[in-house]
Homo-oligomer: A and B are copies of this chain.
Amino acid sequence: MTRTEFSVTVDLVLLTIRQAALQVMLVRRGIPPHQDRWALPGGFVLGDEDLGDAAARELREETGLDPRDGHFEQLATYGRPGRDPRGRVVTVAYLALLPDLPTPVAGSDAAGAAWRPVDEVRGELAFDHDQILADGVERARSKLEYTPLATAFCPPEFTVADLRAVYETVWRTRLDPRNFHRKVTSADGFVESAGGTVIRDRGRPAQLFRRGPATTLHPPLLREPSRPAE
């Protein structure tokens, strides 16, 4: 029985919404392989570390954030021979959905870290990171349908319009503000009132909400609406 030795890394798909666009955190690689190309942040798993702990450590190093500031889950694992020229490297990708940070990227050890719109980096990434990013974006898109994770993109207190902007940005659609409002506020445990109101630009003040205790949405919010009969 052949027991090949592998290196194991974690790579992070960190998604946020900035400037009305879905953006991903990338780092510019300072060393070969793929020197000077953009890549997902990541690193080797240490000797006594669980995979999720290694990913959480990388998240902290890159952004100063804790996994529980947003949403954090394992995405998938990639191990094609040849995906890394240094040898046999398997990477476990994690997906995080994060609020747009008011604080600058504090403890980042990667000077070249930057948020980039996901639509602008397609095809540009090192290793197989284009595929990993695409998988992460698709996971995020579909999770918005069945879970209240859209709130992970929002700060602790947010308006219904903020939440709608998340859906519209991630799904690249327009949603009816009036029906969306009703749906969100009536779905059990999706959001709960935070009490205050806020005026964003013009118009009537909007109520503030916090994320509710629900972990799944019943009924779901579907991307492809049940269209009228053809």
Where the two chains meet, the residues of A that have a C-beta atom closer than 8 Å to any C-beta of B are 1-8, 43-51, 74, 76-81, 88, 90, 92, 146, 218-220, 222, 224, 226
What are 9 contact pairs spanning A and B, CB under 8 A?
Answer: A4-B45, A47-B81, A47-B88, A49-B81, A50-B79, A51-B79, A77-B77, A79-B92, A218-B222
What's the Cα separation between A79 and B4 when bound, in Å?
16
Residues in B with CB closer than 8 Å to A8 are 4, 6, 8, 79, 90
What's the Cα separation between A222 and B220 when bound, in Å?
10
- CB distance A46 to B5 under 8 Å? no
- CB distance B1 to A43 under 8 Å? yes
- CB distance A226 to B222 under 8 Å? no
Can you add 10 more A-B contacts, CB < 8 Å, to A5-B7, A74-B77?
Answer: A3-B44, A4-B7, A4-B8, A6-B6, A6-B45, A6-B90, A49-B81, A50-B80, A90-B92, A218-B224
Residues in B with CB closer than 8 Å to A43 are 1
- CB distance B79 to A76 under 8 Å? no
What's the Cα separation between A172 and B8 when bound, in Å?
38
- Shortest distance between the CB of A72 and any CB in chain B (Å): 14
- CB distance A5 to B2 under 8 Å? no
- CB distance B77 to A1 under 8 Å? no
Residues in B with CB closer than 8 Å to A7 are 3-6
Q: Give 6 nearest A-B pairs by CB, closest first.
A: A51-B79, A4-B47, A77-B77, A5-B5, A6-B8, A6-B6
What's the Cα separation between A219 and B223 when bound, in Å?
11
Residues in B with CB closer than 8 Å to A4 are 7-8, 44-47
What's the Cα separation between A50 and B6 when bound, in Å?
12
What's the Cα separation between A92 and B50 when bound, in Å?
14
From the candidates B49, B81, B222, name the one contacting A48 in the complex (CB within 8 A).
B81
